Amino acid sequence: MRQGASPPPPIGYVPWDRPSPVLDALGGFFRHDSDPLQIGFYVDQHKVNARGFLHAGVLATVADVAIGHALAESTDPPTNLVTINLSCDYTGVAEAGTWVDGTIEVGRVGRRLAVGTITFVAAGRSIGTGRGLFLPV
Amino acid sequence: MRQGASPPPPIGYVPWDRPSPVLDALGGFFRHDSDPLQIGFYVDQHKVNARGFLHAGVLATVADVAIGHALAESTDPPTNLVTINLSCDYTGVAEAGTWVDGTIEVGRVGRRLAVGTITFVAAGRSIGTGRGLFLPV
Amino acid sequence: MRQGASPPPPIGYVPWDRPSPVLDALGGFFRHDSDPLQIGFYVDQHKVNARGFLHAGVLATVADVAIGHALAESTDPPTNLVTINLSCDYTGVAEAGTWVDGTIEVGRVGRRLAVGTITFVAAGRSIGTGRGLFLPV
Amino acid sequence: MRQGASPPPPIGYVPWDRPSPVLDALGGFFRHDSDPLQIGFYVDQHKVNARGFLHAGVLATVADVAIGHALAESTDPPTNLVTINLSCDYTGVAEAGTWVDGTIEVGRVGRRLAVGTITFVAAGRSIGTGRGLFLPV
């Protein structure tokens, strides 16, 4: 059981429980149990690059899943969305073992387009941002 | 052993052998053994979203690793690079079980910036593109 | 004199006075005289597309100039920057004659990379965002 | 008359004649008269930044207009499109007076999304690329 390898998450965070084979394969993702715009994860052994830092692709994967889910759930009933563009900036590094906070901002969920962003913070410093465009389907 | 779940890759492809904990966790990635600008993978069970199609984040992860590696190896000696921006467009879907081809284009590896793109094709149709900006370190 | 065609700007805004041949050609750009992170402009006759709405390219031009300037001036002495990536999302339209507010956020000005964003609001609604990556030179 | 300030365009190019107030304000844009995927312009006095090089925003503006037009005209009847994302990489500089070639690639014009790219070359070297996402309307 992969998630067992990391310490428990900060108070208020529970394991990510939406079906996602990719996140299951990577393991160790969490959502805040009362704030739908907060997610988090540890930079564990499956999430690092060859240098031992958080992998850019992992941040992109988390961005896509977290933004997409938050946008989808921001409407009632939820909106089915498919990603059409995902763009991430990497402005800092996160070392193995670090807890990373992700804060989602719902930009817009319209009839023809949905947009959202996520900002990642590790050890008190911004390490990157992601932005996703989605089409309702 | 995860890679065992998929059929063998097309002729000429060998397992990706550069250290990458993320790709190891996802499994099933291949590189062409004589063309450094070709990679490929099967959309196996670890690479799909909740709908059963290739996950946008996986394509981003592959884009980052494949472009970064090709740019790094395009110089002699290789250039160490860190990702500063990764942007992917998703213009088609790939179903579970499909083989996806990735073709890298080395845009530029300069003293202060490196740029490259990758185009993904599945079942004869373009399904998306990725573009990465990297800083030499 | 082009700027004469539009009404005066809101209180607190003064004409953009940093040398910029492009903005001079387009005309009608303003900065807030005490808040370096606020700019604005009218969607005048030179800034519309064939449909009569604000042109996507104009928003990109403003984003580049405004973010670049704000990042450059956020350090002492100012940092010379060149744009390496500019990405804009368009989530709403602005009709001819509308005043558009731009709010800049300085993401980071490092030794090797600078990042900032701008959010555009017209008639009380977000119409788009821009994000620029810059290299110090 | 602004366009008069620059030399005549290379053989085969004619003035851009599609209505565009922004390009009219900037002046000096051309299209190839038999190849709908080729455009070009001189880096004249209205298109430079404070350093005297081609302005990043101008390249974004040209990218938006040229890609959007080529995608729209690639279907019969033409498709009306609105820009939803525009992203440009800047990998080289173009000095004042230089002729810049733009080569458009039509990625896809679907029922719900259109994508295209443009590559800019000046003095034999790539200076940047643009990529636009558009929604049919």
C87–B84 CB contact, under 8 Å: no
Residue D82: name the closest of A19, A29, C90 by CA: C90
**Rounded to a whole number, what is the distance in Å from the CA of A110 to chain C's nearest CA?**
9
Beta strands in chain A (DSSP E): 13-15, 29-32, 38-42, 81-90, 99-109, 114-122, 125-136
User: What digits encode the pLDDT tens for the residues C43-54?
Assistant: 998 898 888 899
Residue A4's pLDDT band, with cuts at 50, 70 and 90, is very low
Task: Say which residue the tokens 């100039």 belong to.
Answer: C65
Statement: residue D128 has pLDDT above 50: yes
Tell me what pLDDT residue C17 has: 86
Look at A2 and B31; give whichever has higher pLDDT.
Answer: B31
Query: How many whole angstroms from its chain centre is CA D62?
Result: 3
C-alpha span between A10 and D87 (Å, rounded): 37
Using an 8 Å Cβ cutoff, are C125 and C54 in contact? no
Residue C136: name the closest of C74, C93, C56, C82 by CA: C82
Residues 97-116 of C with CB under 8 A from B: 112-113
Residue D23's pLDDT band, with cuts at 50, 70 and 90, is confident
Statement: residue B36 has pLDDT above 50: yes
The C-alpha angle with vertex A67 and arms to A61 and A72, in degrees rounded to 5, equals: 125
**Rounded to a whole number, what is the distance in Å from the CA of D84 to chain A's nearest CA?**
9
- Is residue D104 within a helix (H) or strand (E), and if so which, with residue range? strand D99-109
How many CA atoms lie less than 13 Å away from B103 in the CB half-sphere? Answer: 6
D21–C55 CB contact, under 8 Å: yes
Residue B87 with chain D: CB contacts under 8 Å: 87
Tell me what pLDDT residue C73 has: 94
Statement: residue B32 has pLDDT above 70: yes
Dihedral angle computed from the Cα positions of residues B37, B1, B99 and B58, in that order, rounded to the nearest 10 degrees: -70
Tell me what pLDDT residue B7 has: 83
C-alpha span between C36 and C73 (Å, rounded): 9
D89 touches chain B (CB under 8 A): yes
Which of C84, C103, C111, C115 is the best residue to mutate to test the A interface, defined by the most A CB atoms within 10 Å of its own CB?
C115
Tell me what pLDDT residue B135 has: 94
Statement: residue D95 has pLDDT above 50: yes
Average pLDDT over residues B20-26: 83
Token duo for residue B23: 């790709």
Using an 8 Å Cβ cutoff, are D46 and D97 in contact? no
C129–A107 CB contact, under 8 Å: yes
Global ipTM: 0.91
pTM (global) more than 0.80: yes
User: What digits encode the pLDDT tens for the residues C90-130?
Assistant: 999 999 999 999 999 999 899 889 999 999 999 999 999 99
Chain C: list its partners (3+ Cβ pairs within 8 Å). A, B, D
Q: How far is CA C7 from CA C3, C41, C65, C83, C97, in A?
A: 9, 10, 23, 32, 9
User: What digits encode the pLDDT tens for the residues B95-118?
Assistant: 999 999 999 999 999 988 999 999
Tell me what pLDDT residue D5 has: 60
Token duo for residue A57: 């692709």
Average pLDDT over residues B41-67: 92
Which of D85, D87, D89 is the best residue to mutate to test the B interface, defined by the most B CB atoms within 10 Å of its own CB?
D89
DSSP string, C65-85: HHHHHHHHHTSSSPPPEEEEE
Chain B residue with minimum CA distance to C135: B112
Most confident listed range (A22-31, B76-85, D14-23): B76-85
% of chain A surpassing 70 pLDDT:
96
Residues 69-88 of D with CB under 8 A from B: 87
CB-nearest partner of A108 from C91, C108, C113: C91
**Please, which residues bridge with residue C14 across strands?**
C31
